[in-house]
Structure 1
């Protein structure tokens, strides 16, 4: 049974009383859903505080894996139908480029196409390697440079180590009015290598923006790939999953919010890019299928002074999961 909660309203402020949940100190590795919630070794005082932050903010009962697996195919079909219906109501089709055809980029491309948008998709190996996927989802396979010229929005969905090696002129021809969305997450030990600027305090998406020479909106970065692919629902559905958005341009955030809504999720405006640390790996809301109210509480409960510890915990668990499952791709798909 879900833990009981209570809430009260004071003007425009909603106050949520979040229960404290006890957690096993060492749950079975295979049962843990994401690489950021459980400490691998004996917790230090700081790590114990992180765990308490999560316990205070977590009012969900955890992933219902068996039911999700049984319903996964039906969920995917339902999500496609809901996305199409939502987009018809919005009455606007975007030209959208996706750079990166992995689990997140591929899911965004699939959902955007199902919602009626004109989608092009690219990867690092060339459009011929994406022909089958593009045909399946109703998109067009192109080069990364062509995808970067999409008129309305470009979704950059590649690992951080790949961002570092992008062509310097990749976004030179991107229209001035196009929104660039960053879906990436930084895992220094498990995948990406240490990036000194981030270790020194720069936020993940600030670093991406600096590398590509364009401002970005951070979105689609907190949700598990399977949930993104299968758990979208039409607006107004109870417990509809929320996706947080942050970026300095309010109009750009609004356009990304429209896409999120059209693809089956509730957009949650997280504010300026300076607040995007709340969406980084290991934070309280990361990899949880929270509705908007719960996700907002989780973002608020996240402690900026513990960013390094959140990252270290997420990274350590990712490494353990790679050992168990064999690859970072398998971990992402779990």
Structure 2
């Protein structure tokens, strides 16, 4: 069996800890970093995500091959993007104006939010995924490979190898990965767009991503 890559998760909230539990159960080594203002992070992670390791952000960036960013969108700027050179970075965030407020520079930018985040470090290999699934559904909907009721999750990004590695991770935690192509196609996965929050099979999700691919071409 091929050794699984080390996974880093920035954000120890409900999304980050749910993903950590799934990944630890699937046999991954999981490193986590949270807000520097969050007290007793070691205790929290030990209780809600046993098996995950709390480390400093610089250690996570250095040791993890795949980094999942699962902080509130408004705090994306606090993530150490310059440290992610060469790393596969999964943008699992969502821009929620009711929560984040309307951010003018985001609203006025024609790019998807993941393209905007990718511009924070062009040397990072940014992939959009895991954002169109609620944290409460992550463990409830995880099913073994081959189960006809298995839910699909999309992977979009401009790096083919990065998409393939994240697809393998998604399969390992109990979902059918769907390759959605370029990072710009992540528009379909954002709040208010076709795939967000919907329980879809791989075929259904692929069909929803196809028109977005045509528009972005």
Q: What's the offset of the Cα at 1:277?
A: 1.0
TM-score, normalised to structure 1's length? 0.58
Work out whether residues 181 and 218 of structure 1, in 8 Å CA contact, stay in contact via their aligned partners in 2: yes
Q: 1:194 to 1:141 in 2, by over 3 A?
A: same
Is the counterpart of residue 113 in structure 1 residue 24 in structure 2? yes
Task: Provide the secondary structure at the position in 1 that maps to 2:118.
Answer: helix
> Among 167, 170, 177, which residue is 1:260 paired with?
170
Task: Provide the secondary structure at the position in 1 that maps to 2:167.
Answer: helix
Q: What's the offset of the Cα at 1:134?
A: 3.0
Q: Distance in 2 between matches of 1:175 and 1:92?
A: 22
Work out whether residues 7 and 64 of structure 2, in 8 Å CA contact, stay in contact via their aligned partners in 1: yes
Is the counterpart of residue 296 in structure 1 residue 206 in structure 2? yes
Q: Distance in 2 between matches of 1:127 and 1:191?
A: 19
Aligned to 1:217: 127
Q: After superposition, what is the alpha-carbon deviation per residue over 1:52-86, rounded to whole angstroms, capped at 9, x for unaligned?
A: xxxxxxxxxxxxxxxxxxxxxxxxxxxxxxxxxxx
Is the counterpart of residue 96 in structure 1 residue 7 in structure 2? yes
Could you tell me which runs of 5 or more consecutive residues in structure 2 were left unpaired when the two chains were aligned: none
> Among 94, 99, 104, which residue is 1:190 paired with?
99
Aligned to 1:31: none
Could you tell me which runs of 5 or more consecutive residues in structure 1 were left unpaired when the two chains were aligned: 1-89, 306-334
Aligned to 1:181: 90
Aligned to 2:41: 130
Q: Distance in 1 between matches of 2:95 and 2:119?
A: 15
Aligned to 2:58: 145
Q: Distance in 2 between matches of 1:152 and 1:303?
A: 28
Q: What's the offset of the Cα at 1:301?
A: 5.3
Number of aligned residue pairs: 212
TM-score, normalised to structure 2's length? 0.87
* Structure of higher RCO (CA pairs closer than 8 Å, 6+ residues apart): 1
Q: 1:234 to 1:300 in 2, by over 3 A?
A: same
Task: Provide the secondary structure at the position in 2 that maps to 1:148.
Answer: helix
Aligned to 1:10: none
Task: Provide the secondary structure at the position in 1 that maps to 2:147.
Answer: coil
Q: 1:304 to 1:281 in 2, by over 3 A?
A: farther
Is the counterpart of residue 286 in structure 1 residue 196 in structure 2? yes
Q: 1:155 to 1:195 in 2, by over 3 A?
A: farther
What is the correspondence of 1:230-249 to structure 2 with a 5 Å cutoff? Answer: 230-249=140-159
